[in-house]
Amino acid sequence: MQGDDDIPGIGQYDDFHTIDWQRDIARDRMRHRYIVKKRQDSIWDLIKGAHDAWSGWVCVLLVGVATGMVAGVIDIGASWMTDLKFGICPAAFWFNREQCCWSDTNTTFDSGNCSQWLTWPQVFGDRGDGAGAYIISYLFYIVWALLFAALSASLVRMFAPYACGSGIPEIKTILSGFIIRGYLGKWTLIIKVVGLILSVSSGLSLGKEGPMVHIASCLGNILSYLFPKYGRNEAKKREILSAAAAAGVSVAFGAPIGGVLFSLEEVSYYFPLKTLWRSFFCALIAAFILRSINPFGNEHSVLFFVEYNKPWIFFELIPFVGLGIIGGCIATIFIKANIYWCRYRKYSKLGQYPVTEVLVVTLVTAIIAYPNPYTRMNTSELIYLLFNQCGISNSDPLCDYNRNFTDANSAIEKAAAGPGVHRAIWLLVLALILKLVMTIFTFGIKVPCGLFIPSLALGAIAGRIVGIGVEQLAYHYPKIWLFSGECSTGDDCITPGLYAMVGAAAVLGGVTRMTVSLVVIMFELTGGVRYIVPLMAAAMASKWVGDALGRQGIYDAHIALNGYPFLDSKDEFQHTSLAADVMQPKRNETLSVITQDSMTVDDVETLLKETEHNGYPVVVSKESQYLVGFVLRRDLNLAIANARRTMEGIIGQSVVIFAGAVNPPAGAPPCLHLNRILDMAPITVTDQTPMETVVDMFRKLGLRQTLVTHNGRLLGVITKKDVLRHVKQMDNEDPSSVLFN
Amino acid sequence: MQGDDDIPGIGQYDDFHTIDWQRDIARDRMRHRYIVKKRQDSIWDLIKGAHDAWSGWVCVLLVGVATGMVAGVIDIGASWMTDLKFGICPAAFWFNREQCCWSDTNTTFDSGNCSQWLTWPQVFGDRGDGAGAYIISYLFYIVWALLFAALSASLVRMFAPYACGSGIPEIKTILSGFIIRGYLGKWTLIIKVVGLILSVSSGLSLGKEGPMVHIASCLGNILSYLFPKYGRNEAKKREILSAAAAAGVSVAFGAPIGGVLFSLEEVSYYFPLKTLWRSFFCALIAAFILRSINPFGNEHSVLFFVEYNKPWIFFELIPFVGLGIIGGCIATIFIKANIYWCRYRKYSKLGQYPVTEVLVVTLVTAIIAYPNPYTRMNTSELIYLLFNQCGISNSDPLCDYNRNFTDANSAIEKAAAGPGVHRAIWLLVLALILKLVMTIFTFGIKVPCGLFIPSLALGAIAGRIVGIGVEQLAYHYPKIWLFSGECSTGDDCITPGLYAMVGAAAVLGGVTRMTVSLVVIMFELTGGVRYIVPLMAAAMASKWVGDALGRQGIYDAHIALNGYPFLDSKDEFQHTSLAADVMQPKRNETLSVITQDSMTVDDVETLLKETEHNGYPVVVSKESQYLVGFVLRRDLNLAIANARRTMEGIIGQSVVIFAGAVNPPAGAPPCLHLNRILDMAPITVTDQTPMETVVDMFRKLGLRQTLVTHNGRLLGVITKKDVLRHVKQMDNEDPSSVLFN
């Protein structure tokens, strides 16, 4: 391993290959020791040493700042273009509705209308509320939606196919040690940002939170090239990417701690504790920058800031757990249907017309969504509305209770639901069905699209409906023993908004199978420890129901669908097979090996031509098969080509020497010494090692392959692909769906 | 490994030994598979299977409930006994001062006095404020303090010597896979609870937060015995202990998320993500139970609830970072002095008189502490006072500003410090010195004592002083460019309480080297994201200063002092040595091995008598040294004893067969087949493996030993002790300080 930097290209990886963590970490330590040693030589080396020591912090600082700024741009852009579907600010067309109304000093935003902002019918002179105005609005809504969606899909198709989707499955795979060139590149970044603004504005049932993780990871990848320590070492680069993923969630929800836990729990694979602190720093900086830009225009740095004035009551745990079960069921329906549809798209003609598909989905969504006010509005606004409790100033039909607001200071009394609430519930049921169906068809189309927000919306709708149900039950039957304690005083004891939040957590938990990070994100959204217990109860119920009905979360399902080589660190290997059952070659095949000092260059080149392995074990002799080391195909190719080019006398008959100092007999061509590319410390296991231990070693040590021996003799090789295929086979799935090595 | 349960005792560990994680996890998976297979047999087995699946959750639920309840008992007990030093409630002597004053309906606690509560001079009829009353109070204070401390020290000395100290270093060691029998037992628990109440009440400079982690871990250990899955498997038990440690911090600070992160970052070693979710559940239940008991008697479940009405200003980052540096220095002084003193205690006669030492320290503390109001009061109260901002109702000298409170609704104006503030600062400087010195001598004495609270207090004092300094600077020189922006409007722009909080975080961070968990705990204490950036800046500065001045945090320093075999997962191994340099035996020594089929029972027993290794490699033959497997000394002893007792014909000349099926020649005694205790899958490395990889494997796979081979031949063994000694040697420390194996 000492000669890594002598021959150009050695130590790099090919596209769609798995990295070797141990090797990369060893390379980094060597580089570090070299810098430490040189530090005494001169002031310049001392500065270089200091720069190297600080580069990790500087890099995550830059990533945090960049992520915060990009998130601000996306928030502002998406908000302006979303409002553009409804109208325009003639005084300054680049203002969104809220800013437009602010510039008009005398109206408040809450009243819902301001004179500065013109809806499209108003622009065309129709200031009434009649059918004509409605049709003009409807048409403009559809046309803008189609325009945005078409633009987004075309940009993605033309410039950066990797920019579509949420990106989280791929980022999970990349962080687990896989190379996908260009997935985190600058074109993907630019197109993802622009496409995301467009697709969010088009009113499709998608969110910008998942893609934000992808965008942050792109920024992390691009900025890591400023620091060779990270840019040129794939294992070290993943430390920056983990931090970037945390920053992405941090800006998406305004939840830095939740972001770090998300990165730790859901996305990251190799997460040394040193990285935890840096990820936290990165997430915090990103949130701080975003808050300074202040796209939400308020004091709070979070997406949905809610405050309830009532604590929850112990018996409410029953409906909360019920909501968890409902959430788990909704999530399972969604995952199964979405995977079914994505598989159909993948293997049918549909996959060849991505832009057409986007346009059709957009058109259907726009036509169905507009008439229902709850689907017409921005999904974030809908969630915010559902999370809120009904106050005096809230004029939405959802808050149409038969109440008597004579004394504004007293506690809100219990009240019967008015006709507005009944109508709102029906509209919400429709919205739930529509959103569920549209999201199934939307997640996976070729525009940037996330599903945190649609999942939250589904859960919030279900939760609000359940919440109103429980509230009315408590109003009409206050004598039931459940309600008799706290609900008999006449005060309002049930907060439907809290149910919406719990439901939202349940569906999101069921879809993504997040646990701690989900609860922490929801807790950071509300800013109070008080509601952690309900959130946790619902998230647990939802996860259990989800796990019982279908094993995988949406991201893992998409990883399996795409055949990425991802070895889940949360799944336990349950079977009794031994290393001998899994290793290649199987019986009756021979293992391709190289001997340490008896093969010629021609022999080696023939072997390289005839086989396609990524690496070859080096043994003492073909007869004894005692293991000496391991050499990579790529290194071997490069080293032989390099030797033929630069060293004199190396011909096909030269003997290749990997270990020991053998002198060639007189008259023979000089030997080719390749001990520098030989890994003398390959990880080995015995053939009797249980596969659970082998899987554990692959996960924890980040191996690419391990060699199998018996009493010191080499028997075979197990690669990561072999392990993944074996896991699939044991789970009765198709092992050939593992595509890459 | 298949025969683990056949011979009693196999699979258990001796006291002061390291566990083998891989083996224990494998045993658990085997047990699990057995249960899953049997589940189809009968309803009873199905119930057993369900019980097994749920037992993890049930166990952490029980641990959470128990921890919350015990924490409530400690809080109530300590608060009552602390007040007992000052006076008594004659109407109900079991009330503390606050409860006593509540029972007296017409007085509020804030006014500081109530008629129901009698101070000791009042009890004896002296209702004045003169010198006589002062002396009586002083004497009672000292007598009670001595009484409590003597009782605490005697209980610890007599019944449970493991109950002293904070316990966190030992728990870190235990969680890293070490056995200390009795350290988490029921006697330790009982004495630690009682002793903790007594020692906290005695007014010593110590806190109850660290020992709470020990208490929670004891509860986790005791309750895990209800579930054989955890109680009988040391590796699985550590999952419960990790959750318990999280619950301990959770109840200590009312910070469940911070508790989980503390457990993850600071205490735990092996922390699968599945455990994260369970630890969070445990921490939350514990916090919820404690909140239901409500020992603090208020709405908030946190120790110090503070709310500031001013945001921090960007330039304040300079003093915050300065506070971080000060905090790092204070922490380093504390660690160095404390370790020096503890080492002196350990190796001198002082160690033989623990109770006397406690009494002397208590006496000195009580005599010096009483005259200064800031050291006389409970340390928690002091911290709360320092964290708070000066409101209108705050009558402490710290808030004696020359202000004009005519309009109570307007913002607080800037004001010059009055004479009370000047006096308070001098008292605080004295308190800082006293607390620092007393804590150095206190941490390590033989009573239960933690140092979270003393560290927080040190930092809060330093921070408040700096805060008042900056505040007065801004008042007197509002024209300096730094202050000219936000501080020129006449409003109060600096909150000294915030500085106290930042300082507290800085010192605690410097002492314990906590990072993310520290920030999250402090954030949960205040309940607002607003101040995370200042806290983080100070914590980072403090950690860097601490790391620059002395490598270890207080817990790691105490682990090193006690010689525990703890392999820190955060330290990177920086050296270039190879496995061949570290392995035993060194050159010129022979390796003790057992052959697979040519040694007799007598040979093996001689080997066991002559050597003291914990295990022996099994090889094909002494000449070839090709490795077959590994057998543990303990298993070998048990198996031979068992065979001699139960099997016929086994005599000293019987050949021991570990692998293969060799038939004894006619007339020879029957063979003893020991293949069931042979581990056929020992972890091996080659002699050329860099030690950094070996250390990584020890950490990540939780190894007890690894075998070193060269070209398939066995060369030697590396045990955890060898690794630890090598690390010490490379760091130029005394390798013989590693005591255990």
Percentages helix, strand, coil for chain B, rounded to the nearest 5? Answer: 60, 5, 35
Mutate which: B35, B275, B277, vs A, most A CBs within 10 A: B277
Contact (CB<8Å) A29/B574 = yes
**How close A626 comes to chain B (CA, Å)?**
5
- Residue of A26, A693, A701 lying closest to B697 (CB–CB): A701
The tokens for A569 are 């660190």
* Facing residue for B684 by CB, picked from A273, A684, A690: A684
Domain assignment present for residue B215? The answer is yes
Question: Are residues A641 and A539 located together in one domain of the fold?
Answer: no
Q: Answer with the residue of higher pLDDT: A438 or A473.
A: A438
B55 in a domain, yes or no? Answer: yes
* Domain count for chain A: 3
- Which of B273, B288, B627 minimises the CB distance to A712? B627
- By Cβ distance, the residue of A273, A701, A709 closest to B700 is A701
What integer pLDDT is reported at residue B253 of this predicted model?
84
Q: How near does any CA of chain B get to the CA of A8, in Å?
A: 24
| Cβ contact, residue pair A257, B520, below 8 Å | yes
Q: Does A235 touch chain B (CB under 8 A)?
A: no
- As to burial, measured by CB atoms within 10 angstroms (0-12 exposed, 13-18 middle, 19+ buried), residue A624 is middle
Q: For B681-709, give the DSSP string.
A: ---EEETTSBHHHHHHHHHHHT-SEEEEE
Asked if the Cβ–Cβ distance from B681 to A696 is below 8 Å, we say no
Please say whether the beta carbons of A245 and A175 come within 8 A. Answer: yes
Whether residues B539 and B634 fall in one domain: no
- In Å, what is the CA distance from B26 to each residue of A681, A689, B529, B675? 26, 11, 43, 17
Residues of A in contact with B68 (CB under 8 A): none
B538, B633: one domain: no
Identify from A542, A619, A711, A715 which residue to disrupt to test chain B contact, counting B C-beta atoms within 10 A and taking the largest count: A711
If one counts every other C-beta atom within 10 angstroms of the C-beta of residue A696, the result is 21
B562 touches chain A (CB under 8 A): no
Query: Chains A and B: how many Cβ contacts under 8 Å?
Result: 150
| Cβ within 8 Å of B, A 342-381 | none
Confidence of residue B499 (pLDDT cuts 50, 70, 90): very high
Give the number of other Cβ atoms within 10 Å of residue A740's Cβ.
Answer: 18
> In chain B, what residues touch A28 (CB-CB under 8 Å)?
none
Report the CATH number that the domain containing residue A724 is assigned in CATH.
Answer: 3.10.580.20
- Residues B187, B50 share a domain: yes
* Strands of B594-595's sheet in order across: B594-595, B615-619, B627-632
Q: Which residues of B touch A628 (CB under 8 A)?
A: 711
All residues of chain B having their beta carbon less than 8 Å from the beta carbon of residue A509 are none
Tell which A residues from 519 to 538 touch B, by Cβ distance under 8 Å: 519-520, 523-524, 527-529, 532-533, 536
- b/e burial code for range A631-661 (CB count within 10 A of at least 16 → b): bbbbbbebbbebbeeeeeebeeebbbbbbee
Name beta bridge partners: A705.
A719
On the question of pLDDT at A327 being above 90, the answer is: yes
Q: What band does B362 get if pLDDT is binned at 50, 70 and 90?
A: very high
Identify the three-state secondary structure at position A265: helix
Sheet holding A599-600, edge to edge: A599-600, A655-657, A672-673
- Asked if the structure places residue B474 within a domain, the reply is yes
- Is residue A20 assigned to a domain? no
Is B208 in the same domain as B239? yes
What the block records as the tokens of A306 is 């809610």
Task: Give how far B711 is from chain A: nearest CA, Å.
Answer: 5
* Chain A from 272 to 291: CB within 8 A of any B CB: 272-274, 276-277, 280-281, 284, 287-288
Q: Which of B335 and A587 is assigned the larger pLDDT?
A: B335
- Mean pLDDT to the nearest integer, B476-491: 69
Residues of A in contact with B29 (CB under 8 A): 572, 574, 692
**Choice between B229 and B94, residue whose per-residue pLDDT is larger:** B229
In this structure, the answer to whether residues B554 and B585 fall within a common structural domain is no
Among A372-386, B252-266, B301-315, B692-706, name the one with the lowest average pLDDT: B301-315
Name residues 577-616 of chain B within 8 A of A (Cβ): 579
CB contact under 8 A, A711 and B256: no
In the prediction, which pLDDT does B107 show? 46
B172 domain residue, yes or no:
yes
> B635 in a domain, yes or no?
yes
Q: Taking residues A628-633, what's their average pLDDT?
A: 89
Residues B210, B170: contact at Cβ < 8 Å? Answer: no
Number of Cβ atoms within 10 Å of the Cβ of B127: 10
CATH number for position A49: 1.10.3080.10
A264, A533, A681 member nearest B693 (Cβ): A681
pLDDT tens for B621-677 read 888 888 888 998 888 888 888 888 887 777 888 888 887 766 666 677 788 888 888
Interface test with A, best of B1, B27, B28, B29 (most A CBs within 10 A): B29
Rounded to the nearest angstrom, the minimum Cα separation between A265 and chain B is 7
Contact status of B59 with chain A (Cβ, < 8 Å): no
Nearest to A533 among B284, B682, B690 (CB): B284
Residue B603 has pLDDT above 80, yes or no: yes
Same domain, A339 and A463: yes
Question: B593 and B667, same structural domain?
Answer: yes
Q: Would you state the pLDDT for residue B393?
A: 63
Chain A from 22 to 51: CB within 8 A of any B CB: 22, 25-26, 29, 32-33
> Which of B:694-713 have CB within 8 Å of A?
696-697, 700-701, 709, 711-713
Q: Strand (E) positions, B527-649?
A: 594-595, 599-600, 615-619, 627-632
Co-location of A180 and A273 in the same domain: yes
Q: How far is B544 from chain A (nearest CA, A)?
A: 12
For testing the chain B interface, which of A54, A273, A677 should be mutated: the one with the most B CBs within 10 Å? A273
pLDDT of residue A4: 43
Q: Which residues contact residue B372 at a Cβ distance below 8 angstroms, ignoring those fewer than 6 apart?
A: B427, B430, B431, B434
Q: Which of A533, A681, A692 sits opposite B690 (nearest CB)?
A: A681
Per-range mean pLDDT, top range of A525-534, A583-592, B445-454: B445-454
Asked whether residue B209 is assigned to any structural domain, the reply reads yes
Q: Do B529 and A301 touch (CB under 8 A)?
A: yes
At residue B2, the pLDDT reads 39
CA distance A578 to A580: 5
Confidence of residue A1 (pLDDT cuts 50, 70, 90): very low
B/e letters for B634-661, b = 16+ CB within 10 Å, e = fewer, are: bbbebbbebbeeeeeebeeebbbbbbee
Per-residue pLDDT at B538 exceeds 70: yes
- The whole-number pLDDT of residue A624 equals 84
Residue B388: what pLDDT?
83
Give percent of chain B above pLDDT 70.
89
Subunit contact B536:A284, Cβ cutoff 8 A: yes
Closest residue, chain B, to A285 (C-alpha): B533
Write down the mean pLDDT value for chain A: 84
Lowest mean pLDDT among A71-80, A272-281, B397-406, B699-708: B397-406
Domain that holds residue A502: 320-562
Of the residues B562, B593, B620, the one at which a domain ends: B562
The predicted-structure confidence for A4-52, as pLDDT tens digits, reads as follows 445 566 667 777 888 888 888 888 888 888 888 888 888 888 888 888 8
A611 shares a domain with A505: no
User: In chain A, which residues have their Cβ closer than 8 Å to the Cβ of B274?
Assistant: 570
User: What does the pLDDT look like over A681-723, one tens digit per residue?
Assistant: 899 999 888 888 898 888 888 888 899 998 888 999 998 888 8
Nearest CB among A274, A685, A711 relative to B628 is that of A711
- What is the model's pLDDT at position A197? 94
> pLDDT grade, residue B326 (50/70/90)?
very high
pLDDT in tens, B271-311: 777 788 899 899 989 988 888 886 555 544 556 667 777 77
Q: Which chain B residues are Cβ-neighbours of A33 within 8 angstroms?
A: 574, 576
Q: Are residues A254 and A365 in the same domain?
A: no
Asked if residue A201 is part of any domain, the answer here is yes
Residues B510 and B536 reside in one and the same domain: yes
- Cβ B549 vs Cβ B329: under 8 Å: yes
Question: Which pair of tokens denotes residue A185?
Answer: 């590149």
